[in-house]
Amino acid sequence: MFDIFANYGGQLWSGFGYTLLSSLYALIGSLVVGTIFALFEISPNKVLRVIGHIYVEIFRNIPLLVIAMIFYIVVPQYIAKIDGFTAGTIGLTIYTSAFIAETVRAGIEGVPVGQMEAARSNGMSYGQSMIHIIMPQAIKIVVPPLGNQFINLVKNSSVLAFLAGFDLMYQGNVIASTTFRTTDTYFAVGLLYLIITLPMSYGMRYLEKKWSAERSED
Amino acid sequence: MSMIEFNNVEKYYGKFHALKNINLKIDQGEVVTIIGPSGSGKSTLLRCINGLETVTSGQLLINGYDLADKKTDMNKTRKNVGMVFQHFNLYANKTVMQNITLGPQVVLKQSKAQSEEEAHKLLELVGLNEKANSFPDQLSGGQQQRIAIARSLAMKPKALLFDEPTSALDPEMIGDVLNVMKTVAEQGMTMVVVTHEMGFAQEVGDRIVFMADGSILEDHSDVAGFFKQPNDERARVFLSKVIKHM
Ligand SMILES: Nc1ncnc2c1ncn2[C@@H]1O[C@H](COP(=O)(O)OP(=O)(O)OP(=O)(O)O)[C@@H](O)[C@H]1O
Ligand SMILES: [Mg+2]
């Protein structure tokens, strides 16, 4: 396995870089988009609620690969030319955002209704109540499941391999098919994924522990 | 002009008729207690007054503004009416001080210094100055409820609504909360209080309203007289149960 690193290190680390970059874009993008659609889903406005609901149900119930393929093949034909990396990252963002919307919605709904009622009768608007009272409490509920979504996101970025996205999985496939050293190659690839996901996993555990300790101190 | 005025108000939850032809006028400085069996619509009535529920038809005037009218700015009218809940509902992510000062800072645009100065006076009033930096879950129920009253008062409301403010409290804490409410009443606050505390209703209340099944069946300024001799049969049955229970 180490000679794979010695001979193809450049290729592997380049793939690692693309995987990291795609994950980072998709993470930020899906967090923003997912939170917006979560707010739609719980909005007092019925039209927004329906839009949020449709968005979530469509994109979490189609395989990621299909969404990515649509951006890779259909969008360039009719709308704009985009490369595999961009198409895959957009697909990944949209797919993950549907799950994040559900997670964030559940987190907001996990805050007791009395908190919103108290804020409203305290004179605050819906938006002010959300910002000062509901969201800060929802974040603590939402962080553990969000961490899982983000770890899934990194792993799912391997979809880029199907779209010539130059990511880690793509480079692994290339190396494996030229060297026929499949076992060693995919071990090396797996190891590089762990470099990204393990710190996330432990970061999550740390936060969870810290917050449950804070709670029991009270 | 009355401070709070219901004219032929109806309220439905879906098909369920929760408030039936409510007519009620409450003047500035009045303390009105509302009693009645569970499910009679007492909470619904209060929640309509500060816009947590919307009325289905009729007129609900607060300071002359009709809450049933879509043109009325709910946030503006709500600023004038505070609410104290059965389960306190203090902001769990804020300290006692922040619970009291958040509304004044965000809504009334008071400075931090000014809102904190006022908060200290209110903490003095409710006897909890030493708890300014505690979080709600570090306080007893009775203490939380007194903070909730202070939080409402910080907005300088024209009226305060109480929905069974002592029902979730251990018996030995009820007295402290009722004393604070009595002090607030003596300072001239307009109050509408849903309660099972018949002592409070008699001692502090200027008027008593009895509700059953979504309707107001009795409305008396002679509170003691009502307790001695209610007109309505359902009120008689209700009182006999509550008083025996006490
Ligand atoms: N959001 C709601 N949706 C549907 N029905 C409701 C809702 N809120 C209250 N109700 C119903 O309306 C009726 C009146 O409820 P309300 O809470 O006003 O009674 P209450 O007099 O405050 O009772 P309690 O003494 O138990 O607090 C009840 O039958 C209740 O089930
Ligand atoms: Mg009630």
Size of interface A-B (CB pairs under 8 A): 63
Domain count, chain B: 1
Answer yes or no: are the C-beta atoms of B58 and B8 closer than 8 Å: yes
pLDDT value, residue B74: 78
CA distances from B156 to B100, B159, B181 (A): 12, 9, 15
The residue ranking higher by pLDDT, B26 or B69, is: B26
Q: Give residue-wise pLDDT tens across range B27-52.
A: 999 999 999 999 999 999 999 999 99
B93 interfaces chain A, CB cutoff of 8 Å: yes
The residue ranking higher by pLDDT, B77 or B85, is: B85
Atom of ligand 1 nearest to the CA of B40: 21
Q: To the nearest 5 percent, what fractions of chain A are helix, strand and coil?
A: 85, 0, 15
Helix orientation angle between A182-217 and A2-41, rounded to the nearest 10 degrees: 40
**Chain B residues touching A142 at Cβ < 8 A:** none
The alpha carbon of B229 is separated from its chain's Cα centroid by a whole number of angstroms, namely 26
Element (H, E) at B107: none
**Domain, as residue range, for B201:** 4-244
DSSP, collapsed to helix, strand or coil, labels residue A146 as helix
Contact between B90 and A118 using a beta-carbon 8 Å cutoff: yes
Q: Give residue-wise pLDDT tens across range A119-130.
A: 999 999 999 999
> B75 in ligand 1 pocket by Cβ < 6 Å?
no
Residue A213 tokens read as 């300790």
A114 interfaces chain B, CB cutoff of 8 Å: yes
The residue type found at B57 is S
Q: Which of A121, A124, A137 sits opposite B50 (nearest CB)?
A: A121
Residue B179 backbone dihedrals phi, psi, to 5 degrees: -65, -40
DSSP-derived letter for residue A60 is: T
Measured in Å, how far apart are chain A's first and last C-alpha atoms? Answer: 51
> B16 in ligand 1 pocket by Cβ < 6 Å?
yes
For ligand 2, the distance from its centroid to the CA atom of residue B41, given in whole angstroms, is: 7
pTM of the complete model = 0.87
Domain boundaries, chain A: 2-217
Contact between A123 and B155 using a beta-carbon 8 Å cutoff: yes
pLDDT value, residue B244: 64
* Closest CA relative to residue B59, chosen from B18, B15, B16, B4: B4
Q: Give residue-wise pLDDT tens across range B113-141.
A: 999 999 999 999 999 999 999 999 999 99
**Chain A residues touching B93 at Cβ < 8 A:** 133, 136-137
The domain A2-217 belongs to what CATH superfamily? MetI-like (1.10.3720.10)
Q: What percent of chain A has pLDDT over 90?
A: 79
Residue A178 tokens read as 């030229």
Residue whose Cα lies nearest atom 29 of ligand 1: it is B39
Residue B228 tokens read as 């001695």
Pocket test for ligand 1, best of B15, B43, B56 (most atoms within 8 A of CB): B43
pLDDT value, residue A218: 45
pLDDT value, residue B64: 84
Q: What percent of chain A has pLDDT over 70?
A: 97
Listed range (A165-179, B92-106, B136-150) with the worst mean pLDDT? A165-179
**Mean pLDDT score, B158-168:** 95
Residue B165 backbone dihedrals phi, psi, to 5 degrees: -65, -15
The alpha carbon of B142 is separated from its chain's Cα centroid by a whole number of angstroms, namely 16
**Chain B residues touching A211 at Cβ < 8 A:** none
> B107 in ligand 1 pocket by Cβ < 6 Å?
no
pLDDT value, residue B246: 53
